[in-house]
């Protein structure tokens, strides 16, 4: 396993249609899971309409994604490290990642 990962970061709040410059692709170290945590390799990420609303800082039912942080969405992934007794390496999980 490599010791780095890639993530899509919100670089700017889109004005009108989102454009490539509103995002950045970053390479960063893979974190180690803390007590009770798991590390998940994302296999499938859903690009849903609600993600557009989360790019705005306007009041909404969902918290906005902060500038400089990883875009989040519903995903399916495989547990690749676990410090949680409820999850084993190789388990498949889904949720907001």
Distance separating alpha carbons of residues 17 and 33, to the nearest angstrom: 36
Residue 47, pLDDT above cutoff 90: no
**Which helix (H) or strand (E) covers residue 6, if one does?**
strand 4-10
Confidence at residue 1, expressed as pLDDT on a 0 to 100 scale = 63
CB 68 within 8 A of CB 12: no
pLDDT 10s digits, 49-78: 888 889 999 888 888 999 999 998 999 999
What's the confidence (pLDDT) of residue 57? 92
Q: What is the pLDDT of residue 34?
A: 96
What are the structural domains, with CATH classification, of the chain?
A: 4-96 (3.90.180.10)
pLDDT, position 2:
80
- pLDDT digits over 4-43, tens only? 999 999 999 999 999 999 999 999 999 999 999 999 999 9
Cβ neighbors of 16 (< 8 A, separation 6 or more) are none
């Amino acid at each position: 396993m490599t010791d780095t990962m890639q993530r899509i970061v919100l670089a700017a709040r889109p004005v009108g249609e989102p454009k490539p410059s509103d995002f950045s692709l970053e390479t960063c170290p893979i974190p180690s899971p803390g007590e009770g945590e798991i590390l998940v390799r994302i296999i499938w990420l859903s690009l849903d309409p609600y993600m557009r609303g989360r790019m705005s800082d306007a009041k909404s039912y969902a918290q906005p994604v902060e500038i400089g942080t990883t875009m989040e969405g519903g995903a399916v992934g495989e547990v690749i490290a676990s410090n949680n007794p409820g999850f084993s390496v190789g388990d498949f999980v889904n949720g907001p990642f």
